[in-house]
Amino acid sequence: MNFGTTAVKGLSLVVGALTTFCLTTTGFAADSYPKSDIKAVIPFGAGGGTDTLARAIVNLAEKELGQAVIVQNKPGATGAVATEFVRQQPADGYTILIAAENQNLYRTTGLSKLSFDDFEPVILLGEAYPVVVTLPDAKWKSISEVLDEVDKNPKSVKVMNTGPVGISGVVTAMLGKDFTLVPYRGEGPGLAGLLGGHVDIGIVSIGAVIQHVETGNLKVLSVISDKRLKAYPDWPALGEERPEYKKYLPWGPYYGVYAKKGTPQPVLAKLQNSFKKAWSSDKYQKFLDERRIVPLGLMGEAAVAYQKRWESVTTWLLFEANAASDPAAFGIPRL
């Protein structure tokens, strides 16, 4: 009896010591994070809307984190290459993903089995409405003229396309016209193709194109919204010209920072606090305003709820346009 009691007491001491050790080392790891550079993977090429927003927030967040955040562009498969790469890395906060909305659409378009369910949102940065742009000397003066021409002459208008779940892919599916889609690995390369005369139309985020518009290198044919933007009242709205599209509007991309699911909560909290401070800074808010991006700043459950709603609206839009499989098969409800 005495031997058993002694053994139990000894075992309790060992367990207690191990527990203390684990808590201490876990706390130390969390407190010391990050101990080295962090890699921020961007799923698209340099120069596009996601790349521009990512680099701006990274420059501010690394000051809060106390370590360099190294940006790596890894384009391919409308972001699926980068998304899979980050998923394969350890869930330790040293490789993060800064992406647009595309991952919400991977499953229903067959691009990947991944979705944002495989990641923890660090912070959702902002949302923006896409614009349809063309060269200033193009013959079209409105989106209606473009759509009417394609109705009369299918395949006659070449549109840059960053993939079925990219901005251009969703908007062309929404429009439902027989364009000639020319593939590009991101908004940056697509805009270069438009400026070089290789395509007729670009469908991009405002942030990626605003400087080209303000300098007169491109003109806006339409904003993908049900009403005009207050900042640019001269830009026609799609729903204003073509009411048949109002049921989808307003629609636009959003941008966020993500960590792999399973990242320890203290590490995730450090990332969230650091990026929230960077996002809240006057410098970043001015950056968003200059690009006409609506600030979000959502984290945790609020970020997840926002994404779920966006996923539902857009996957069902694509399904109705015969551009995606049935969202119900993946448990995505119709709102």
pLDDT in tens, 282-322: 999 999 998 888 899 999 999 999 999 999 989 998 998 88
Does residue 219 share a domain with residue 300?
no
> Per-residue pLDDT tens for 193-216?
999 999 999 999 887 888 999 999
Pair 137, 226 in one domain: yes
| Domain containing residue 222: CATH number | 3.40.190.10
For residue 20, is pLDDT > 90?
no
Pairing state between β 95-99 and 130-134: unpaired
Last residue of a domain, one of 186, 215, 248: 248
Cα–Cα distance between 162 and 155 in angstroms, integer?
Answer: 18
Confidence of residue 23 (pLDDT cuts 50, 70, 90): very low
Distance separating alpha carbons of residues 61 and 278, to the nearest angstrom:
5
Residues 144 and 227 in one domain: yes
Mean pLDDT of the 87-107 span = 96
Structurally, how many domains does the chain consist of?
2
pLDDT in tens, 245-267: 998 888 988 999 999 999 999 99
Which of left, alpha, beta for 206 (phi over 0: left; psi -120 to 50: alpha)? Answer: alpha
Which is more confident, 95 or 14?
A: 95
Residue 12 inside a domain? The answer is no
64 lies in the same domain as 146: no
Answer whether residue 28 is part of any domain: no
What residue numbers bound the domain in which 91 lies? Answer: 33-127+253-330
Last residue of a domain, one of 248, 269, 284: 248
| Residue 6 domain flag | no
- Give pTM, 2 decimals: 0.76
Lowest mean pLDDT among 2-11, 106-115, 169-178, 292-301: 2-11
Query: Above 90 in pLDDT, residue 9?
Result: no
Kind of pairing between the strands at 180-183 and 158-161 = parallel
pLDDT at 126: 95
Instruction: State yes or no: pLDDT of 69 exceeds 80.
Output: yes
